[in-house]
Amino acid sequence: MGTGKTKRKHGAHTKIKKYKRKTWLCNRAKDTDQIQDEIEKSIETGKPITFEYDDDLPGGGQFYCVETGKHFADAKGLADHKKSRYYKRRVKELKEEKYTQDTAEWASGMSKEKLPPAHGNKK
């Protein structure tokens, strides 16, 4: 038995980034703040989020879950999705307060102090 080269999957151990496998980007779901923005816009305009018929989207884009940002092939698929743990968890996340820059600065310990003017008001 000799020790020869072993077969590796293409692009698994490369240093050049453009050849690396991009599995973490391919099927990435929308972030919660993006979905919250979409929901706020639809509330402001008073129109629900709908899509025109598109052959490229599953189900022609007619079966869309707003909370997760996914398209489904038919109504049964959408109904089954709304019973899933992933959907329920996402709805719970969307009910939380929106994460803003002020919250991030507060969490990191940065404070906004209002100091009096250094030289006063001279007129």
pLDDT, tens digit only, all 123 positions of the chain? 556 666 666 656 666 666 665 555 566 778 888 888 888 888 888 887 777 787 778 878 788 888 888 888 889 999 999 999 999 999 998 888 877 888 888 888 777 777 788 887 766
β partners of residue 71: 64
CB 58 within 8 A of CB 24: no
pTM for this structure?
Answer: 0.57
**Going by C-beta distance under 8 Å and a sequence separation of 6 or more, which residues neighbour residue 75?**
63
**Residue 69 burial (CB < 10 Å; 0-12/13-18/19+)?**
middle
Q: Where are the alpha helices (DSSP H) in 5-81?
A: 23-26, 32-45, 75-81
CATH code at 53-97: 3.30.160.60
- Domain range summary for the chain, segments of one domain joined by +: 53-97
